[in-house]
Amino acid sequence: MPEDIPKLDAHFLRNLQHYSLQEIASKVAGTLIGDDIPADDLDRIVEEAIDFEAPVRPLDSDMAVLELFHGPSLAFKDFGARFMGRVMAYLSRGDDRVLDVLVATSGDTGGAVALGFLGVPGTRVTILYPKGKVSPVQELQLTTNGRNIRAIEVNGTFDDCQALVKEAFNDGVLRSAFRLTSANSINIARLIPQAFYYFHAYAQILSQGIEDVVFSVPSGNFGNIGAGLLAYRMGLPARRFIAATNINDTVVRFLESGRYEPRPSVQTLANAMDVGNPSNWVRIMDLFGHDRQGLKEVIASYAFTDAETREGIRMLFDRYGCIACPHTAIAWLAAEAYRKACPGGYAAVFLATAHPCKFPGVFPADIAGRIAVPGQVKALEGRRKEAVALDADFGAFKAYLLGNP
């Protein structure tokens, strides 16, 4: 984390609606990164990485959806993965040692990182994912790339995968043998580009003459909402953030009781949110000086069951014709809950974090039949899965890394 969070200048914030997503991205990234990357090089990185849009689509007069699935892996994590890959390649230029990127995924991170780093010179990516707990499309995105991307199918949960990655960074033998880094949201290079779309979304709302905005964010490892709160600390004039979770509700319970009690993650329809001990919560607590009351003034939180998620998918389709993945439906349910608790005077924007085609088994037939499958998903059909199977055992993971230098 930066030692201090810089503020964006007031003139820029008042005139956000006059800037493109790429212009906003360069300004936000430059403010955080400073002189570490010259402005011309940073502009080029942004232009290459953020070459797709993030539109806000109104559903009614005070509810809108921010679509974050228009990148190559069809998930919001394309913002972080593509920016990170190019920043790492830039900072590693001229170094003759391979940069080994370790990443744990509960679904979408792995696919975004795989495509974000595929063919990037001087890098090798090792993706750990929980066996049987990602969708078929997500698994194909993780395991069919080859080249500098390799996948490990872990007999365990996302939390197990995340623990293996963290332990690898703390192991002296592995640190000596490899140049290790992370592509999970524990790496600040993931959160910086995710902050871009909060400012861009606010700019789109501002262009409609609305200045008061609440963001509802599907939350698993709490990197996405962490990026929103980083933007808030930089001056984003959002009224409130809503942490929308499934039954893996560690943070919801903490905000209610003051006791942080992680539990083993439980598998749900919203698999990317199946996190029992979110890594980014310590970062969020640090942003707010470990002041729970201060956090509660900025963050509201709601948790939903699978049955409620299915109902949310149905209601969104029947009411608006909107087809939403489970994570997106949970964000909408949380936005609706907040509107009932705190009615009027603002626009609620909920984040659509993944394309619905990535979760084909979730939808009833009448909705499933309306999902347009993008070309990049059709291109995966027939490709052969390549993954190494391991138990959730650090000794086995360490042996695999050392045995495949």
Return d(Cα 245, Cα 333) in angstroms, integer: 10
pLDDT given at position 360: 85
pLDDT given at position 377: 87
What DSSP designation does 396 have?
H
Over residues 218-229, mean pLDDT: 96
Over residues 8-37, mean pLDDT: 95
**Percentage of residues in the chain with pLDDT exceeding 90?**
78
pLDDT given at position 2: 83
Is the pLDDT at 222 greater than 90? The verdict is yes
pLDDT given at position 186: 76
- Mean pLDDT, the chain, rounded, equals 94
* 14 three-state secondary structure: helix
Over residues 31-55, mean pLDDT: 95
Over residues 170-183, mean pLDDT: 94
Confidence of residue 344 (pLDDT cuts 50, 70, 90): confident
Is the pLDDT at 109 greater than 90? The verdict is no
Q: Which 3-state string (H, E, C) describes 68-129?
A: CCCCCCCECHHHHHHHHHHHHHHHCCCCCCCEEEEEECCCHHHHHHHHHHCCCCCEEEEEEE
Confidence of residue 7 (pLDDT cuts 50, 70, 90): very high
Residue 240 CB partners (closer than 8 Å, separation 6+): 214, 215, 298, 299, 300, 338, 342
Amino acid at 122: G
Query: How far is C-alpha 111 from the chain's CA centre?
Result: 12
Is the pLDDT at 184 greater than 90? The verdict is no
pLDDT given at position 111: 87
Contacts 24+ apart (CB under 8 A), 393-399: 394/163, 394/164, 394/167, 394/168, 394/171, 397/128, 397/152, 397/164, 397/168, 398/168, 398/171, 398/173, 398/174
Over residues 319-342, mean pLDDT: 97
pLDDT given at position 91: 87
Q: Which of 105-119, 123-137, 378-392 has the lowest mean pLDDT?
A: 105-119
Q: What is the pTM of this model?
A: 0.89
pLDDT given at position 379: 87
CB atoms within 10 A of CB 200: 25
